[in-house]
């Protein structure tokens, strides 16, 4: 999973419902071609804004994972209510139907979340250090998003309709003039794909990518093979915010001397703004107060 997340975050945007596109290609004439430079500047800024929103919105995540490590295979489904907690996120256990199945386990995690939010809402030196680390990671991520503008050449292919909106479809190929400046950006030349941009809002709506050369990770102790793929879809899940609705990773590779295969699908839904740790703490305490002994309050 760490390999998959590292690769995906380094490839473009850490991308996610799942309704299908109505494929209605429309011929694109040169005179009708939008200002690509300005459009992708908007996409980059919108992506930074949407990424930041994930720190203040809770959501329901259903993760379906199939892993093969050598001769061992495993399949599992995890459903959780993911709640931002300042310097991380809590994963409250839910049943496969999206409802609480183990009330005691759910309450225990909710109480742990309360303690984490109390800590995150304080202003001590430890908290400042933790938030500085988060800010540094955010800055690095924003730089990766910005670098993608120069790392790829985007060529308009056509336009399509989805739910009554016009999406501009672009091919995404490595820019031969791009010079990587870090181990993360060195992955860019080994990826190609397709992106769909919502024309009216300048929001990333969908991305599909493929690894075109083997990628070494973790001081060359792991390798992701050519042909590995990823994709993500985004919708306007809340007004003004285009957030993941579905993502899928299909990676094959090697870690140390063992081969692995990772196939993961994630469905995102039920977004709700919980705000800062102080705001989220009030919501969690209200939920705990409404819960009956051994029971769970309705959300």
Q: How high is the pLDDT of residue 216?
A: 80
The ranges assigned to domains in the chain are: 2-290
Handedness of CA 50, 52, 57, 62 (dihedral sign): positive
pTM given for the model: 0.83
Burial of 233 (0-12, 13-18, 19+ CB in 10 A): buried
Whether 232 contacts 16, CB under 8 Å:
yes
Q: What is the pLDDT of residues 286-297, one digit of tens each?
A: 999 998 665 555
* pLDDT the model gives residue 66: 93
Cα(120)–Cα(118) distance, integer angstroms: 6
- Please tell me the distance from the alpha carbon of residue 82 to that of residue 64, in angstroms, as a whole number: 16
CB 47 within 8 A of CB 145: yes
pLDDT digits (tens, 9 = 90+) for 91-103: 999 999 999 999 9
Rounded CA separation 182/9 (Å): 13
- At residue 92's C-alpha, the angle toward residues 87 and 95, to 5°, is 155
Q: What is the pLDDT of residue 24?
A: 38
Confidence at residue 35, expressed as pLDDT on a 0 to 100 scale: 58
CA 132 → CA 24, 142, 184, 185, 227, distances in Å? 47, 15, 21, 23, 37
- CA nearest 80: which of 53, 110, 52? 110
Residues of the chain with pLDDT under 50: 1-34, 298
Q: How far from 83 is each of 118, 126, 215, CA to CA, in Å? A: 14, 21, 33
Q: Token pair 């993500």 is at which residue?
A: 232
Q: What is the model's pLDDT at position 294?
A: 52
* In the chain, beta strands by DSSP E: 22-26, 57-69, 72-84, 89-94, 152-162, 165-174, 191-198, 203-211, 215-217, 222-224, 229-238, 241-255, 258-273
SS3 content of the chain, % helix, strand, coil (to 5): 30, 40, 25
Q: How high is the pLDDT of residue 30? A: 35
> CB neighbours (10 Å) of residue 227?
13
Instruction: Give the closest residue to 94 by CA, choosing from 59, 54, 66, 56.
Output: 59
Where residue 163 falls (left for φ over 0; alpha for ψ -120 to 50; beta otherwise) is left
User: In degrees rounded to 5, what are phi and psi of residue 189?
Assistant: -65, -10
């Amino acid at each position: 999973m760490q390999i998959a997340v590292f690769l995906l975050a380094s490839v473009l945007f850490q991308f996610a419902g799942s309704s299908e596109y109505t494929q209605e290609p429309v011929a694109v004439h040169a005179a009708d071609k939008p200002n690509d430079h300005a459009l992708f500047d908007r996409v980059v800024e919108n992506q930074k804004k949407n990424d930041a929103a994930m720190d203040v919105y809770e959501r329901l995540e259903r993760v379906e994972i199939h892993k093969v490590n050598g001769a061992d295979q495993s399949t599992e489904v995890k459903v959780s209510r993911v709640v931002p907690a300042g310097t991380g996120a809590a994963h409250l256990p839910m049943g496969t139907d999206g409802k609480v199945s183990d009330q005691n386990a759910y309450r225990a995690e909710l109480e742990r979340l309360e303690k984490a939010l109390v800590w995150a809402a304080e202003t001590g030196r430890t908290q400042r250090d933790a938030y500085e680390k988060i800010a540094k990671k955010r800055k690095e991520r924003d730089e990766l998003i910005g670098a993608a503008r120069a790392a790829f050449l985007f060529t308009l292919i056509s336009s399509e309709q989805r739910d009554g909106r016009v999406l501009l479809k672009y091919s995404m190929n490595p820019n031969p003039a791009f010079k990587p400046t870090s181990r993360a950006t060195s992955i860019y030349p080994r990826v190609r794909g397709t992106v769909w941009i919502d024309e009216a809002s300048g929001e990333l709506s969908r991305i599909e990518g493929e690894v075109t050369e083997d990628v070494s990770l973790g001081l060359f102790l792991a390798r992701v093979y050519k042909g590995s793929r990823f994709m993500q879809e985004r919708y306007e899940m809340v007004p003004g915010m285009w957030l993941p609705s579905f993502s899928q990773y299909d990676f094959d590779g090697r870690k140390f001397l063992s081969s692995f295969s990772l196939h993961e699908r994630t469905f995102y839904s039920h977004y709700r703004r919980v705000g800062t740790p102080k705001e989220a703490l009030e919501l969690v305490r209200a939920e705990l107060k409404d819960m009956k002994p051994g029971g769970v309050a309705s959300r």
